[in-house]
Amino acid sequence: MKRLLAGALVGGGLLAVQPAMAEDITLEFVVWNYSLSTIQDNIRMFEEQSPGIKVNLTDYAWPDYQDSMVLRFRGNTRTDVIYGGQDWLPAWASAGWLAPLDDIAPPDTLETLKSEMAGFALSDVTYDGEVYGLPYYADTISFIYNQAILDEHDIEVPGTWDEVMQAAEKLKEAGMDRPIVYEYNQELPNFFDAFVAQVYGRGGDLFNEELNAVFDDPDNAAFQHLQWLREAFEKELVQPENHESNIITTMNTGQHAFTVVYNYVLAAMNNAGEQPLAGQFALAPMPGEEGATLGFAKFYAVTADAAADPERAEAAWKFIEFMAGQPYTVAKRWAVEDGLGFAQLPLLEDQDVVDAWGTWTDMQTHAAQVESARAGTWTEWTAVWTAYFRPLLASAMVGEITVEDAMTQGAERWNMLQEQFANR
Amino acid sequence: MASGTHAFDDFPARPLGRRYGLGSKHMWTRNRFPFLWLMPVLLPVLLFIGVPVAHAFWTSLHQVMLLFPGEPFVGLDNYARVLDTNYFRTAMWNSVWFMVLAAPLVVAIGTAIAHFLQSRFAGSTIIRSVVLLPWVLPGAISAVLWIWVFHPSFGIINGLLKQIGAIDASIQWLNSPDLAFYCVLIAHVWTQIPFAVILVMAALAAINGETIEAATIDCRSGWRRFRYIVFPEIKAMIVVLVVYNALVAFTTYDLVYAMTGGGPGTATTLLAFQIWRESFAMYDFGAGAALAFIMVVVAAALIVAITRALPSDLFGERPS
C-alpha cells in the first residue's frame, strides 16, 4: 500500500512537472506580408522538424513595415526574428535592436554560409564588420524591355541612357503614348533604390569613399541621371506607376516598352498563366557605360532581446538556419515558386532553379548582372536621409523644383545628418 | 421657475451642517462632492487624453530621435527647426488651402443633396442608402478606389474623356503637381459628404411642415424659398458642419498617405502627413510632436476666426 502510494505520488509529481519540461519556446517572427501562405507553410515545415519550438507570425504591409518595427523595438514588444533590410541595418544595429549572428551561430557554419553568399548580399547583411542576417532573398534592380515592341519597330536593345531616350522618342513618334514605365512612389524605399541602380549603370555613385555626398556636383552621374529623368518626364515619355504590381499590368497592355524594377517583377510579367503578353519581356544590363546595377539583400535577423536569452537565441538560430541555411531549401523554394532572387550562389547551378528561371529570364544575362551588381551605401542615417531625399527626387523629376535644388538640398541634409550622427 | 436648474439648487437656507450632515439624506448629493461624482468620467479623459497630450508636449521640448541614445531637453529648438523648413511652409500652405476649399464644398454639396433627398420620388430610399456608402468605407479603401478612378491607363475618367474625344493622351492626374492636389481634394470631399447629408437632412426634418407649406404658397421660386425660409432654419447646423469639416480637412491624413504619399514632391503634403513623415520616416519624434502642437494652435486659431466671421445671431436663444 505504501509502495502504491509512493508510486502514485511520484507519478503525480512527474505529471505535474511534465508540462513545464515540455513547454515550447515560441518565437515571435515579424515579416512584411509578401506571400504569407508560403511563409506559413515554411514555418509549418520548420515546426515539424523542430519539436519544442513554435513560431508565431506577425505581418505588416510593406509601406508600414519600417515604422511598425521601430515602434515594436521602442515599445519593447517581444520580437525574436525579423525580416531586415539592407538600408535599415546600420540604424537598427547601432541602436542595439539587432544582434550579430556571430554571437549565436556556430562559427564554422556561419563561415561556410558567408563563403557561399553573393558579395553585395554579404555586404548588405554586414554592419561594423559583423554579420547580422542570412538572406531571405537577394535581388537586383533590372532594366526590362518588351522584345516584341522593339522588334516591331526595329530598335536595338539600348545600351546607354541616351539610347533609351532615342528609342522612347522613336516609339512615341510611332504612336506609343509613354514608352517608359517608372515606379514613382516617393514613400517607398524602392524609389531611391531604382535611382541608385540607374546611377550605378552610368558607372557613378552618390558618395565618395569617405561617405561624403558628391551628387550635387553637376558632373556627377547621379546629377546627370536626374537631369535625364526630368527630361524624359518633360517629353512625356514616362508613365509613372505607384507600385510594382501596377507595373506588371501596365507593361502587359503592350503600350510601353521599358521599365526599371526589381528583377522578380520580370517573373510576374512573364507569368503565362496570368499575363497576356507573357514571354515578351526580357532582361538587359542596366544602361550606361558600366552596366552595373544595385544588388540588395533582405534577410532574417535576430533581435538583441532574443539573443540575450540563451534558449530563445538557440531556437532563433535554428529557425533562420532552416529558412536561409544549407541545403537552401527555403531560398530555393522562393526562387522556383516566386522568382525571388537569391544570395546563395550554389543555387545558380541548381537544375530546378535553372529550369524554373529559364521560363521567364535568360540565366546568363542574370548571372552576369548578379556578378556586376554593387551594394548600396548604407549608413546609420541612410534610412532617415532617404525619407527626406525621395520627395526631392520626385519633385525634380516632375519639374516642381530644379535638379540643382534637389541635389543641393539633399547633399546639405546628408552632411547635417552625418555630423549629427557622429556627435550623438 | 428658472429653466435648467436642478431641484437640489432650491434648498431653503439652512445651516450647512444640517443640510449635509452624515445622517442627512443629502449627504451624497452632487453638490456635496462634485469632483468625486465626475471622477469616473474625468479619469479616463485624463488618462487617455491628458497624459498623451502632456507626453507629446514633453517630447516636443526634447530631442527624441529614435536612433539616438539620450533624450536631452532642447527647449524650443524643435519648433524653430520645423518652422524653418521648406516642407513646413509648403505643408502649411497646402493644408490651409485644402481646408478653405474642402469645407465649403462638402457643406454646399451635402446641403444640396440633403435638400434633394428630402423630396419623395421612386427609388428615393435606395438613393439615400447609396449616398451614405462613402461614409462606411475606410479611408484607405476610398483611396485605392480613387487611385483607380484617376489611373492614367485604366482609370474611368481618362477612359470617358478619350471616348468622347476630349483628350488624345492620358492625363496624369495623380502624377502631376498641378492636378494631384485637386484629385485628393475631390476624394476627400467625396468621403465627407455623407455625414453632411445626414446632419442637414436631420435639420431639414425639424422644420415645421406648415412653414414650408406656407412658403410654397407664397413663393414660387425654389431658390428664394431656400434662401429666406429654409436656410435660416438650418443655419446653425451649417455652421457646425463648416467648422467640423474645416477641422477634418485641416487634419486629414489617410487619403494623402494612400493616394499620393504627399507627392508628387510636396504637391499634396499636408501638415498631418508631414507630422507622420517627421516622426516615422525620419525617426524624429521631437520634431513631429512640435509640428503637431503648431498644427493644434493653427487649427484653434482658424476655428476661432471662422466662428467670429459668422453672423452673431446664429446660436442666439429662441424667443420664448
Partner-chain contact A395 B177, CB within 8 Å: yes
Site from B175, B266, B280 to mutate, A interface, most A CB atoms within 10 angstroms: B175
pLDDT of A14: 46
pLDDT of B133: 85
- Is residue A141 pLDDT above 50, yes or no? yes
Partner-chain contact B262 A253, CB within 8 Å: no
A292 vs B: CB within 8 A: no
Residue of A320, A319, A363 whose CA lies nearest to A339: A363
Give the start-to-end residue ranges of the domains of chain A: 24-139+295-372, 141-293+378-422
Partner-chain contact B174 A250, CB within 8 Å: no
User: Model confidence at A124, in pLDDT bands (50, 70, 90)?
Assistant: very high
3-state secondary structure of A224: helix
Partner-chain contact A236 B169, CB within 8 Å: yes
Distance CA(B304)–CA(A347), nearest Å, equals 67
pLDDT of B37: 84
pLDDT of A282: 97
pLDDT of B28: 62
A97 vs B: CB within 8 A: no
Partner-chain contact A185 B174, CB within 8 Å: no
Which residue among A239, A384, A409 sits closest to B282, beta carbon to beta carbon? A384
pLDDT of A8: 53
pLDDT of B8: 42
Q: Pick the more confident residue, A263 or B220.
A: A263
Q: Pick the more confident residue, B234 or B18.
A: B234
Give the residue-averaged pLDDT of A244-251: 93
Phi/psi for A145 (5° steps) reads -135, 160
B138 vs A: CB within 8 A: no
Each residue's pLDDT tens digit, A373-415: 999 999 999 989 999 999 999 999 999 999 999 999 999 999 9
Partner-chain contact A400 B175, CB within 8 Å: no
Answer whether CATH 3.40.930.10 is correct for domain A24-139+295-372. no
Residue A363, all three cell numbers: 540565366
| B176, closest residue in chain A (CA to CA) | A398
pLDDT of B7: 41
Question: Mean pLDDT over all residues of chain B?
Answer: 85
Distance CA(A261)–CA(A242), nearest Å, equals 12
Chain B partners of A384 at a C-beta cutoff of 8 Å?
67, 281-284
DSSP for B103-127?
HHHHHHHHHHHHHHHHS--TTHHHH
Site from A67, A184, A187, A192 to mutate, B interface, most B CB atoms within 10 angstroms: A187
Partner-chain contact A395 B281, CB within 8 Å: no
pLDDT of B10: 44
Q: Which fold has domain A141-293+378-422?
A: D-Maltodextrin-Binding Protein; domain 2 (3.40.190)
Residue A420, all three cell numbers: 549629427
Partner-chain contact A400 B267, CB within 8 Å: yes
Residue of B275, B262, B52, B282 whose CA lies nearest to A70: B282
Separation in Å, CA of B263 to nearest CA in chain A: 7
A90-99, A250-259, B19-28: least confident range: B19-28
pLDDT of B107: 96
Residue A30, all three cell numbers: 515579424
Positive or negative, the CA dihedral A124, A128, A131, A133 is: negative
pLDDT of B140: 86
Which residue among B175, B281, B283 sits closest to A184, beta carbon to beta carbon? B175
Residue of A95, A311, A80, A296 whose CA lies nearest to A194: A296
A69 vs B: CB within 8 A: no
Partner-chain contact A66 B280, CB within 8 Å: yes
> What DSSP designation does A236 have?
T
Across A64-78, A158-172, B105-119, B293-307, the highest mean pLDDT is recorded for A158-172
> Which residue has 515540455 as its cell numbers?
A22
- Is residue A145 pLDDT above 90, yes or no? yes
- Is residue A168 pLDDT above 70, yes or no? yes
Residue B201, all three cell numbers: 437632412
Domain with B231, as residue range(s), is 87-309
Each residue's pLDDT tens digit, A220-245: 999 999 999 999 999 999 999 988 99
Chain A partners of B153 at a C-beta cutoff of 8 Å?
239, 250, 253, 255
Q: Which residue type sits at B152?
A: P
Distance CA(A180)–CA(A401), nearest Å, equals 22
Q: Pick the more confident residue, B139 or A404.
A: A404
| A94, closest residue in chain B (CA to CA) | B67
A402 vs B: CB within 8 A: no
Give the residue-averaged pLDDT of B190-205: 94
| A256, closest residue in chain B (CA to CA) | B153
3-state secondary structure of B43: helix
User: Model confidence at B126, in pLDDT bands (50, 70, 90)?
Assistant: confident
Answer yes or no: is B161 within a domain: yes
pLDDT more than 90, % of chain A:
83
Distance CA(B123)–CA(B117), nearest Å, equals 10
Tally of domains in chain B: 1
CA distances from A91 to A58, A87, A317, A327, A378 (A): 22, 8, 22, 31, 9
Q: Which residue type sits at A384?
A: V
Partner-chain contact B283 A94, CB within 8 Å: no
Separation in Å, CA of A395 to nearest CA in chain B: 4
Chain A partners of B177 at a C-beta cutoff of 8 Å?
395, 398-400
Q: Kindly state the greatest CA–CA separation across chain B.
A: 89
Separation in Å, CA of B76 to nearest CA in chain A: 18
- Is residue B16 pLDDT above 80, yes or no? no
Answer yes or no: is B57 within a domain: no
Count interface pairs A-B at CB distance under 8 A: 92
User: Model confidence at B234, in pLDDT bands (50, 70, 90)?
Assistant: very high
pLDDT more than 90, % of chain B:
48
Q: Pick the more confident residue, B169 or A166.
A: A166
DSSP for A266-330?
HHHHT-TTT-TTTT-EEEEPPSSSS---BEEEEEEEEEHHHHTSHHHHHHHHHHHHHHHSTT-HH
Which residue among B154, B172, B267 sits closest to A240, beta carbon to beta carbon? B172
Question: Mean pLDDT over all residues of chain A?
Answer: 92
Site from B88, B283, B285 to mutate, A interface, most A CB atoms within 10 angstroms: B283
pLDDT of A204: 96
Answer yes or no: is B207 within a domain: yes
- Is residue A348 pLDDT above 80, yes or no? yes
Chain B partners of A387 at a C-beta cutoff of 8 Å?
277, 281-282
CA distances from A407 to A155, A213, A388, A410, A421 (A): 33, 10, 12, 5, 21
A424 vs B: CB within 8 A: yes
Each residue's pLDDT tens digit, B149-185: 999 888 999 999 999 999 988 899 998 989 999 999 9
Across A303-317, B163-177, B240-254, the highest mean pLDDT is recorded for A303-317
- Is residue B263 pLDDT above 90, yes or no? no
Distance CA(A368)–CA(B108), nearest Å, equals 62
pLDDT more than 70, % of chain B:
88
Residue of A194, A341, A177 whose CA lies nearest to A260: A194
pLDDT of B320: 41
pLDDT more than 70, % of chain A:
95
Q: Which residue type sits at B194?
A: P
Distance CA(A252)–CA(A256), nearest Å, equals 8
Each residue's pLDDT tens digit, B79-102: 999 999 888 999 999 999 999 999
Answer yes or no: is B247 within a domain: yes
A16-30, A130-144, B289-303: least confident range: A16-30
User: Model confidence at B318, in pLDDT bands (50, 70, 90)?
Assistant: very low
Partner-chain contact B66 A184, CB within 8 Å: no
Separation in Å, CA of A17 to nearest CA in chain B: 42
Partner A, chain B 54-113, Cβ-Cβ below 8 Å:
65-69, 86-87
The CATH number given to whatever domain includes residue B184 is: 1.10.3720.10
Which residue among B67, B153, B263 sits closest to A250, beta carbon to beta carbon? B153
pLDDT of B314: 59
pLDDT of A344: 93
- Is residue A35 pLDDT above 90, yes or no? yes
> Which residue has 537631369 as its cell numbers?
A227
Distance CA(B62)–CA(B55), nearest Å, equals 11
The reply to whether A24-139+295-372 and A141-293+378-422 are identical in fold is yes
Answer yes or no: is B252 within a domain: yes
A238 strand-pairing partners:
A180
Chain A partners of B257 at a C-beta cutoff of 8 Å?
187
Each residue's pLDDT tens digit, B29-84: 667 778 888 888 889 988 998 999 999 999 999 999 887 878 999 999 999 999 99
Chain A partners of B87 at a C-beta cutoff of 8 Å?
391
pLDDT of A350: 93
